[in-house]
Amino acid sequence: MRLALVPLWLAAFVPAAAPAATPAAVAAAVDLGRCVAKADRSAALDLMRTLPLGDEPVDPAALALGRGGACATGVTGPVSAILVRGGVADDMFARDFVEFGVQPRRVIADLARIDLPTALGPGGEGASADVRALYLVAECVARSSPTRAEQLMKTAPGSSGEMRVMEALTPLMQACHRTAAPIAFGRGAMRAAITQAAYHVSARYWAGEMTLAGQAQGR
């Protein structure tokens, strides 16, 4: 049975369980992740290892940000973990890769290992069924349409451009959703998951662990 995903993907909101759904809150969470990745790669990688995979609220003041401590200045209240993760992956992808299929800027052995609860990564022990389903769809999208995934990362979070790319990706996301688990996440979480999966897929491709193109087939 195919589940209808279109309403959530086209909704202009972040996951319902996130602490705030305003465009400013989304931008603050994503920018926090980007800022930490830019200031202290080691701290950013620690965040990717320790932050929840889903939309759980986290207190920026309680995070170990290393040299990126100033990044939390002005961020009030909790932020969505998955959006911070998406910001980290976004900055690292831009720094480490030119584009999909092109030799990375960073030495291949130094590319980050982002373990996700997907077919290609054993990460996410204890992740809920809906979180696993989210990342499986994201990985499928990143493998099946890397160019479109890259277009998504180049748009501003919550923008009309992001919406257009998401609309174009909707048929593929439907084809990629092969489990019975519902995915109760909105646009911000889906973008963050695809961004993480894009880095995850690219790093494994250049490490010789997989092919880049994958076929998304419906049931």
Tens digits of residue pLDDT in 149-203: 999 999 998 899 999 999 999 999 999 988 776 777 888 999 999 999 999 999 9
Task: Write down the pLDDT at residue 17.
Answer: 39
d(CA 72, CA 33): 10
Q: What share of the chain is helix, strand, coil (3-state, %, to 5)?
A: 55, 5, 40
pTM score: 0.85
Q: Is 1 exposed, middle or buried (0-12, 13-18, 19+ CB in 10 A)?
A: exposed
Residues in the chain, overall count: 219
